[in-house]
Amino acid sequence: MSSKVAAPGLLDRAIIGRAAIDALIKLDPRQLARNPVIFVTEAVSAVVTLLFVRDLFAHDGTALFSGQIAAWLWFTVLFANFAEAVAEGRGKAQADALRRTRTDTKAKRTKGGSRDYDIVSALELKIGDIVLVEAGELIPGDGEVVEGVASVNESAITGESAPVIREAGGDRSAVTGGTTVLSDWVRVKITAAPGSTFIDRMIALVEGAERQKTPNELALSILLSGLTIIFLIVCTTLWPLANYSGTVLPLTVLIALLVCLIPTTIGGLLSAIGIAGMDRLIRFNVIATSGRAVEAAGDVDTLLLDKTGTITFGNRMADELLPVGGVGEHELAEAVLLASLADETPEGRSIVALAKSRYGLAAPDIGADARVVPFSAHTRISGVDLPGRALRKGAVDAILAKTQSITGHADIGGAGAEILERAAIATLRAPEDFTRAVERISRAGGTPLAVSENGRLLGVVHLKDIIKPDIKARFAELRAMGIKTVMVTGDNPVTAAAIASEAGVDDFIAQATPEDKLTYIRKEQQGGRLIAMCGDGTNDAPALAQADVGVAMQTGTQAAREAGNMVDLDSDPTKLIEIVAIGKQLLMTRGSLTTFSIANDVAKYFAIIPALFVATYPELGALNVMKLVSPQSAILSAVIFNALIIIALIPLALKGVAYRPVGADALLRRNLLIYGLGGVIIPFVGIKLIDMIVSILHLA
């Protein structure tokens, strides 16, 4: 089973301690300049602090009020920094664990094509160097196996304890620096320079060092900056207007109004939401090379999924036995069991399992005189020769083409020899019921295997791709989300259509070539759709690079990993569905907290506006629906709530809004009901409770 990266808890003491220190470090204006909303909040906090110092020497009784406003404004900035620091701290904790997998490994750099080598530091290796790695040694850098085959422990990278096989050629040749060879040896061609290996990139990504704002984040930042400028202008012009009407507005009160009006809540949590989205992927053992890829996953319209290993279990399995020519079903089961004993392929083992489980047969003792005919990719036939019996099982055309001889048995004579002669010269003719059985299996998308004894057809074995039991329901969920699913397979159209129908996918590409995948993706993108796909081979690289979300398998080739914008450390293609869900959760979380942030400003208006002008315009007292005790307590309560709500929402920003696969209309209604209406009601309750506490303590 694949294991997820262990995620530190939200209240992990080490993370909280580091985040508290980082929150203070992030007070540096050069860092806060990236977040205009919080930067403005810090600037006005400094101004109110200066006013507090002035009031201390004025001895007019206003120092307590301005001091509390200054303190809570600084808390607002610190809480916003703390939210980002906690999100980054979870990534840094994972980066520390990855960093421990690196060491100053020694490498056996070979000379030319010989087995002679020099011992050098892994840090001295260059791209193109060939290194020899033997059992018990660490692979010194990222590369491709160019010679040999070995069992490799990749638990340091994937968390998966089961070793994997890496060999030269094919799609299982990529190896990662820091992993361990458990057996045999391999020669590895280095493909990444020290400092730019896969582990180095993972560390930089999980630490957030390379996290760039996504287009949606940039658009939202511009919106928040615009709102901040608008309210800054409003508060600036409010001062002369208030003076004209005879209302005295202290600068401290105006600044409190500004901070409560600008979207500090979402401004303080926006960065944490983005970091947490990538963190959730990491906990699923998926590394995203950019936040853009995570965001794009949430907007995906079409998913391309490989059939084998994703929709099906990956190996064809025996599903039923169809006897022909008057043969009994139990007789066929006994014959095919004997014929499959030497077939070590997954299909052969599934036939043995079917005969044992469904027909109650036990593995027979064929005796010392039996001659086993092992399965061969060349003959596509397996079987066994017993005294007087030549049992064969294999591809229909191979069985029909010729009859395998039974040789090498001294005890076969008389009638047995006659049987051998007839079997050697007879051409098998396919009876009508055999032909019907083969056609029925083929139309259903299965694979028929013929079974014969001494040149006589006994029946057909139905092999089929077993659909994963939960996959159809998951495709239904994706359909409810408005996502089209497309199965990609090398099968013929008839087989592909049968499996697509059983699995419940919306479309399929049969006999797919790399060009077919690329053409399909480009066609969909030209229609304005976002495409996600997964792959592991070099032939998948063009399509992975073209797709909006390209998920490369960790077990795949270097070309595939470099072409995709995500790497699945578990090499589980079905995880593409979780990736889409995480992307949608990220977008939903950002949208929900933005809705809440804007909605809770409504309650602040009812708290502060009456407090500002009620002395000049008593009629505004009707807006004091919360019955706040005094103008000073109303303003202080709103500022305190504005600070506390940020820290209260940190768990939601990090965990994400619960995602359900429903339509866009349902999501919008749910968002407005919970976070829109909730964003209005909660501040009314919160500000009133804080006002009661403030009044009891006589803080205002």
The whole-angstrom separation of Cα 489 and Cα 512 is 6
Q: Single out the residue of 215, 175, 204, 173 nearest to residue 282, CA to CA.
A: 204
Q: What is the pLDDT of residues 459-495, one digit of tens each?
A: 899 987 777 777 788 888 778 778 888 988 877 787 7
The whole-angstrom separation of Cα 88 and Cα 538 is 34
Token digits of residue 15: 């993370």
Beta bridge partners of 467: 312
What's the distance, CA 89 to chain centroid?
Answer: 20
With the CA atoms of 216, 219, 223 and 229 taken in that order, what torsion angle do they form, in degrees rounded to the nearest 10? 140
Q: Single out the residue of 580, 567, 649 nearest to residue 282, CA to CA.
A: 567
Q: What is the pLDDT of residues 345-393, one digit of tens each?
A: 777 888 888 888 888 888 777 777 788 888 776 777 888 888 888 888 8
Q: Which residues contact 590 (CB under 8 A, 6 or more apart)?
A: 216, 217, 220, 270, 273, 274
Q: What is the pLDDT of residues 605-620, one digit of tens each?
A: 777 777 777 767 777 7
The whole-angstrom separation of Cα 272 and Cα 85 is 8
**Would you place residue 72 in the very low, low, confident or very high pLDDT band (cuts 50, 70, 90)?**
very high
The whole-angstrom separation of Cα 691 and Cα 425 is 102
685-696 residues labelled b (16+ CB within 10 A) or e (exposed): ebbbebbeebbe
The whole-angstrom separation of Cα 700 and Cα 696 is 10
Helix H or strand E encompassing 499: helix 493-503
Token digits of residue 540: 């998948």
The whole-angstrom separation of Cα 560 and Cα 329 is 48
Residue 619: other Cβ atoms inside 10 A: 10
Q: What is the DSSP string of 217-273?
A: HHHHHHHHHHHHHHHHHHHHHHHHHHHHTT----HHHHHHHHHHHS-HHHHHHHHHH
The answer to whether residue 306 is catalytic is yes
In the three-class reduction of DSSP (H, G, I as helix; E, B as strand; rest coil), residue 581 is classed as: helix
Radius of gyration of the chain (CA): 35
Q: Single out the residue of 280, 296, 243 nearest to residue 587, CA to CA.
A: 296
Specify whether the CB–CB gap between 479 and 326 falls below 8 A: no
Specify whether the CB–CB gap between 426 and 403 falls below 8 A: yes
Token digits of residue 232: 């800054």
Q: Single out the residue of 586, 591, 584, 583 nearest to residue 566, CA to CA.
A: 583
- CA distances to 246, 549, 613, 624, 696 from 621, in Å: 17, 55, 9, 5, 22
In the three-class reduction of DSSP (H, G, I as helix; E, B as strand; rest coil), residue 197 is classed as: coil
Token digits of residue 487: 């199965």
pLDDT of 201: 67
pLDDT of 412: 35
- Look at residue 642 and tell me whether its pLDDT is greater than 80: yes
Residue with tokens 């064969």: 392
Q: What is the DSSP string of 597-629?
A: HHHHHHHHHHHHHHHHHTTT-GGGGGG-TT--S
Beta bridge partners of 153: 180
Q: What is the pLDDT of residues 188-206, one digit of tens each?
A: 888 887 777 766 766 665 5
Q: What is the pLDDT of residues 394-434, one digit of tens each?
A: 888 888 875 444 333 333 333 333 333 333 333 345 678 88
Q: What is the pLDDT of residues 435-466, one digit of tens each?
A: 888 888 877 777 888 888 888 888 899 987 77
% the chain with pLDDT above 70: 83
Sheet holding 381-386, edge to edge: 312-323, 456-467, 447-453, 389-395, 381-386, 371-373
% the chain with pLDDT above 90: 5
The one catalytic residue among 279, 306, 536, 691: 306
Residue with tokens 């704002």: 213
- Look at residue 547 and tell me whether its pLDDT is greater than 80: yes
- Residues 34-51 have a mean pLDDT of 91
In the three-class reduction of DSSP (H, G, I as helix; E, B as strand; rest coil), residue 656 is classed as: coil
CA atoms within 13 A on the CB side of 553: 23
The amino acid at residue 583 is G
Q: Which residues contact 595 (CB under 8 A, 6 or more apart)?
A: 671, 672, 675, 676, 679
What's the distance, CA 460 to chain centroid?
Answer: 42
- Look at residue 43 and tell me whether its pLDDT is greater than 90: yes
Specify whether the CB–CB gap between 170 and 133 falls below 8 A: no
The whole-angstrom separation of Cα 567 and Cα 13 is 30
Token digits of residue 351: 């036939």
- Residues 492-519 have a mean pLDDT of 84
Q: Which residues contact 475 (CB under 8 A, 6 or more apart)?
A: 485, 503, 504, 505, 506
Helix H or strand E encompassing 666: helix 664-671
With the CA atoms of 10, 219, 681 and 607 taken in that order, what torsion angle do they form, in degrees rounded to the nearest 10? 110
- Look at residue 5 and tell me whether its pLDDT is greater than 50: no
Q: What is the pLDDT of residues 141-188, one digit of tens each?
A: 888 888 888 888 776 565 454 577 787 776 677 887 878 888 788 888
Phi, psi of 641 (to 5 degrees): -60, -40
Residue with tokens 């011992």: 119
- Look at residue 247 and tell me whether its pLDDT is greater than 70: yes
Specify whether the CB–CB gap between 142 and 192 falls below 8 A: yes
Q: What is the DSSP string of 278-301?
A: HHHHHHTTEEES-HHHHHHHHT--
In the three-class reduction of DSSP (H, G, I as helix; E, B as strand; rest coil), residue 108 is classed as: strand
Q: What is the pLDDT of residues 88-109, one digit of tens each?
A: 776 666 666 556 555 567 788 8
* Polymer length of the chain: 700
Residue with tokens 């010989």: 114
Phi, psi of 572 (to 5 degrees): -115, 105
Angle at alpha carbon of residue 698, lines to 694 and 700, rounded to 5°: 70
Token digits of residue 428: 């098998």
pLDDT of 407: 34
pTM score of the predicted model: 0.64
The whole-angstrom separation of Cα 72 and Cα 50 is 14
The whole-angstrom separation of Cα 573 and Cα 570 is 9
Residue 411: other Cβ atoms inside 10 A: 8
First to last CA, the chain: 60
Q: What is the pLDDT of residues 281-337, one digit of tens each?
A: 777 778 777 667 787 888 888 988 877 666 776 667 888 898 888 888 888 888 888
